[in-house]
Every structure is written in structure tokens, then in C-alpha cells.
Structure 1
Amino acid sequence: MNKTISGFSKLSKEEKINWIAGEYFSNPEEATAIIRNYWNSDAKLQKLHDDFIENTITNFYLPLGIAPNFLINGKSYTVPMAIEESSVVAAAAKAAKFWSERGGFKATVINTEKIGQVHFLYKGDAAKLERFFNENKTRFFEETESMTKNMQKRGGGILDIVLKDKTDLLPNYFQLHATFETKDSMGANFINSCLEQFAKTLKKEAQSFELFSEEEKNIQVVMSILSNYVPNCLVRVEVSCKVDDLKEKNSNPRDFAEKFVQAVQIAEVEPYRAVTHNKGIMNGIDAVVLATGNDFRAVEAGVHAYASKSGRYQSLSHAKIENDIFHFWMEVPLALGTVGGLTSLHPLVKLALEMLEKPSAQELMQIVAVVGLAQNFAALRSLTTTGIQEGHMKMHLGNIINQLEATDEERIKIVNHFEHHPVSHAAVVEYVNDLRKVKS
């Protein structure tokens, strides 16, 4: 059946829902009811959400949790986390409490430089292009002054522009490679606007450069766009303590520290392990990035590119034992903002930033990276001791109970039973079936 439609974006919200419900669902009334059930009862707030993107029909909720007891550079934080995965928030909170009793996390922003590029094709003498660029470099700054004026007042702006010859990679391929400081804004719109002006200036000035032939004057701009790879927008986070201070209950702290370091070293050399290792770090990072209205897809792309900077994908975090001191640390690129975008529009984002005491972009970089390291510590502690599934499946039990549509009475019995038995989906299904057989 042909389900294409013309002019969908011009339909009203009601018409969009009616079309989708009629075309795709066996029970259109039930589908429509579910869609409407996730609307906000406050019409003004719902309109705000509808306007965030295009063709909206409803809201898609993620739980917003909090992880308290993060001690970062001597300051205590309660951190908001938006995520759907069981055990992530609990693990972050547990790691935060553990390290708050051992001096807390140290965090340092190394740099905040962001990058944008004008990609263009030039058929001619590279030496002439370089001379053209050097003679006209100031023009690129001058012709973006109206865009950079407000950013410069806040201490930001264009840091530098360089010409890069990439003809060893593609014929006739060159770049204007620009670096930016955007202070507390993520700066995507600012950077892209500057880059598009650079492209106009490049083409215009080339037309009047006397050393260029007619072919050389015909510079072809392919695209002008920021890069989400920001290896110089970098934050370092770390924890350390005496090996003996790692002791918990009946554990042997030396054995734990050595096994932990070995687990990290495996992720440093084995890409199959490194991907899952870093995914655990991103569980923490993404959850805070999302809760604070930042672009988690951009962060993900940049972080994973950074994990591959050596030419082989490897662990973002590192660990060692030196002079009986356990060290665990990570450097990670994070281009974040605390002004602009959703930060001033989404009510829960504003609430999340207020919970964090209205941090600057640099402070938010530190908080986000710390949660990533805490998440990694929690995962590795579980993996190298009890195994990750025991705790994770106990946290996942509630989801399984909901899937089976257990009654309140059944829920109590299920929870009590699995306090003393291993949790798996099959085991819960079997136990619930047995309960229902007895009852019937």
C-alpha cells in the first residue's frame, strides 16, 4: 500500500495524528489516545514543546533523575540526569558518595577552543593561493565584525583563521580552518554565521586578486560548517587515594586496585572492549548533557573521534598505581553551553541548570566529565568484583514487572522473592506464571 503524502507539514496537528492513526495502526482510537495522553495539560507549555521541532504530534518522555553527593573541586553538587537505562543514576550516585569520602573529584578545563571550516576547491597554483590568503586575512575578520561584536564583549570571538592545503587527500581541496571562543554559549549558530561570511569574502576577494588567472578566481565553496570534533575544547577529571583507602567491607583493596587497573589497560588496547567501556562513560555524560539542554549527538561524535585520535579506538579513561596511590583519570572533549538554545526555553532545562547553581560553560564541562568518570568507576568496580548483571538486573526488575502488568499484590511478592534469587527475564516470567497458576 502506498502511504506517501504530499503537504504533510501543512496539516494541523490534529490532521497529522488522524492520518498517522488511520494509516499505520490497527486500532486508530487506541493509538490516538496514547498520543494525546502524553500531551501536557498546560496548553501554553505544550505549544512551547511543539515548536522545538517540526511535525510534532506529542511528547516523548525520558525520566529525569538526580545523583547527589558529587564533590568537585571542593564544591558539592546534586546532578540532574535524563536517561532511560536502569542502574545508571544509582551507579553514578554510589560512585559520587564513594569518592566524596576520599577527597572528591578534581577537574580542570584545559582549553575551550572550538573549530569551524570552509571547505573549497581551488584549481591553480597553491603558492598564489597562500599569498592571496595572507594579503586578505584581515578582510575575513573585518567583514564579520557585526557578528562578533557581542561575542567579543563577553570575551569571545574568532581566535584565528588558517589556510590548509588538503590536496594530498582530494584533488584541489583546501580549507579555511578557523578557531573560536564562544564563552558560555555552545556557539553553533555564531560559528556557522561567521563561516558563511568567510565563504562570501573568499569568493569576492578572489575575483579582484590580480595574480589569479580566470580559472583560479573561480573558487568553488563546497560547504561552510562547524566541526563537532573539538580536541582543544578539553577537560581533565581525576580521583586518587591511597590504595588502602579503597577498602570496602571485606574487600582486599590491593587486589581490587590491581584488577581495576588491569581492566582499564584492556580497554586501552582492545577496541571491542573499549567501545563498551566508553559507552559506560557516555551513559553518565549523555544523561547530564541531555538534562542541561545540550546536544548529546554532537558530544558523542566528538568524544568517540577523540578516542580514536591515536589511529586506534581506545579507552578514554586511564588508571595506575604509583607509590601506593591509586589514580584514575580521563581527558575528554566537551563543547557545551549554558546560554542560548534550549537552556532559556525548556522549563526542565532551566530547572536543571538552577539545580547546578547556574554554572558557566566551563563549570558544566567539569561536572559532565566527572559524572562520566564516576559512571566508569562504578561499572568497572562491578565488573571486577560481583559482575555487572547482579546489580543491573535488580534495578531492571521494575521494568520487567511493568511489562508483565503485575498487580500490586504480585509486585510485593516478586520483589520479596528476588531479594534472594538471581534476576533474569525468564526467571521473573516463570515466577509470575507460577503465582498466577496458584491463584487461579
Structure 2
Amino acid sequence: MKVHTIILAAGSGSRMQSLKAKSLQKVAGMTMIERIIKTAKEISDQITLVVGYDKEGIIEHAKKLGDFNYVEQPSPIGTGDAVKQAIPYISDDEKVVVLYGDVPLIKVDTLKNLISSSEEGFSILTSFPDDPYGYGRVIKNIDHNATSIVEQKDANDDQKNIKEIFTGNLCISGKILKESINDIKNNNAANEYYLTDLVSINSKKEIKINTYSVDINEVLGANSKKELELIENTNRNMQAKDLQEKGVTIVDSNRIDIRGNVSVGKDCYIDVNVILEGDIVLGDGVEIGPNSYIKNTKVGSNTNIKAFSYIESAEIGSMCNIGPFARIREGSEIGDEAKVGNFVETKKAKLGKGAKASHLTYLGDTEIGNDANIGAGTITCNYDGKNKYVTKIGNNAFIGSNSALVAPVEIGDGSFVAAGSTITKDVPENSLGVGRSKQSNIKDWSKDKK
């Protein structure tokens, strides 16, 4: 059976004190709506977003993530009314999952289990928080099926003692939803249409409503910047715990940010204040020093990334030494056993096996052979103000300190470039390239200056 997910993202979140919609606030570098959309795409054949406040902002943002349906809730008069706006897109033979744009940490496996538990037509996602105060309690019959949701303000003393709460997320057959959505009434103090009423409405029709329970941390929502911080901290702890269970040593799980998908080998070590963003692959024995930032990068086994290194959209081989204070930019490929040292910047640079650039160097649009050595202060001059050109440095070549290689230019295998040279022509194999003025000494010159 196909799955159709409705994401409720119409709320303004006035307590956020923001010009943007609540679901456009970021958690770990990614908007909450983007997080929940990416999760929903893993289990959905179709997605419908219910928008309202800042609808243009949400739609513009969501269009970058895929093709979805959009419906507007004209007035914020309850979650039941919000879901009702999506009914024209719902088919009888679909399973409908309801998610929230400001509840970003729910896991794909949780949703798969929720869907599986709805085989009889209706299942709700519940949790057992340490303190259930403020949440709607799940009332069950002797068969352990849900019969209603009682809000905190309406609960009697016995019902307040119930620990199981409704998270707001559910899975229901399209047919059942379409048949019961109009039965939701707004005869309450807020004059709103509550989606929770679907439970009691369908229970009275003798529809069995199953429950699937999840850790409360997955279903935390954010209505204020303080609650956003709580979700940020929760996400950090969840991600760190996941890596630790895979064998990663994390010096302090409160001082690491994981903002994407991280695949790890055995015996990795991550020091404090490290940010891992996007798609990251770490081989066995990778060590990452403090205050480093790595994004969309693959790192080979036994590579050591020292403190304050910045790496983005790169591929680093095994047994490399990176940093400290290295900047490896997009398109860089660092070969096995290579070294990129302090204050070295690379962009679209390929370093062969064992190549070294140890200090104070810029390597842009550069191909460097195996075991080549790049001296301090070297610059590959790849840009003439209009176009960019490639510099090629052969195997076992040696570039002296403070050299400028003006692209396009090629340094042959085994060649040397004398320190302080400006090289504008190719240097053949096993040759010495010198591009500097001849030194002349003026005897007794300094005596005239005294």
C-alpha cells in the first residue's frame, strides 16, 4: 500500500520572535522542515505540505528538496482543520502519515514501525516521558487499543497518573481519514479542530487503534528559541551516542556537532569542538583534532587531522597528516601518506601518494605527483582575472620556498624549482628551474647611509 505523508507546517511560532516560519528555524545547520522532509521521503510515495504563515518562504525552501503538493490553511484553527486541507490529495487506498514541521528528530525506522503497526487501519505514535505534564494522555481499553486522548486540562486524577502520551503523529488509512475528518468539531474553549479527536471518533466506530511507542527525545517540538536549543542539544546527544555505539571515542559528547550522516570505521577518535556536516565517511583509526570542521568529505584509514583544520567537499586518503590550521577546499583529492600542513590551502588540487605541502602554501587547480615536496610560501597562480588554469607538478619534484608557479605550467618529474622563483615556462624532467634576478652585492653601501 502506498504511503502519503502530510506535513503540518502552517504555524507562525510567535514565541520564536522571528520573521520566518517556525519550521524554517535551523537545528544542527539544517531547517526543521528540511529535516522532516528528508525523513518523510524515505517512507513516502507522496508528500503534501500544509502551509500558512510565511507560506512563500516554506514553499521556496521545500521546492529545492523535491516535488510536493502544497495546500494552505487560511486560519490557524487547529491540527484537524490543517489535515482537512490536504484531503483532496488523499486516496482511499493510501496509508496517511501525519508529521509536524517543527518536530525534526523523528527517525525513519520509527515511522516504518508506526506504519507497520497500522495494519488494521489506524495507529498512533506514543511516548512515556518522565514527566507527562501538559501532554494528552492515551486512554486504552482492556485490549490495549487506544480509545481516546484526554488533554491535561480535562484529565481527572486517575487519568493524570497515566504515563503514556500522544505525540501527535499517526498513521491512518486514507479511507478512514476521509470518512472521519469532518466529524471533528470545535466545541472546545479554543474553538479549534483537534486532530486528537480522530481517536475517540474512530474508536466509537469500533475501529481498533494501535499504539507504537518511541523515546520522547525523537518527538520533541520547538515553539521558542529555548526549546530550539533543547532540540539542538538532544540531537547532539543522540548523534554522539550513535557514534559511540559504533566504536568512536568522543572526548566530550557535549562539545561535538553532527549535522549530517556520518559513516565510521573502527577506533576513530574525535576531540572537542568538532563539527561534522553533510555526508562524512571516516575510515578506521581516523583522528580528528579539536576545533576542526569537516563537511561532505571522505577520510581514509589512519589519517590524522590536527587542530583547527577546515575541510569541505574533499577526499583524503589513508595515513595522511592534515593541519593544524589547514584549509582543504572543494574538489581536493589528497593521496595516501600525503601531508597538508599549517596554513596550507588547497582547491581542486590533487596530491599524489607521499606528496608534502607543509606550510604557508596555496595550491589551486593543481596536480601534484607522488613524493613531490612543496616548499613554504609556494603559490600556484591559477587565475588571470578571467580564466583559471592548471599547474602540473611531477613525481619527486621539489618546489623551493617562496616560489610562484604561473599557470598553465608543468614541472617535470624529478625537477627542482629554485627558492624565490617565478616560473612561467615548463620545466623539463630532472631539470632546475630558476626564475629570479641575479644577486649583486654593492660593497660598503651601508657606510653611506650612516
Identify the TM-score tier after normalising by the shorter chain. Answer: under 0.3
- Bigger helix fraction: 1
Higher relative contact order (CA 8 A, sep 6+): 1
For normalisation by structure 2, the TM-score amounts to 0.22
For normalisation by structure 1, the TM-score amounts to 0.22
Larger radius of gyration: 2
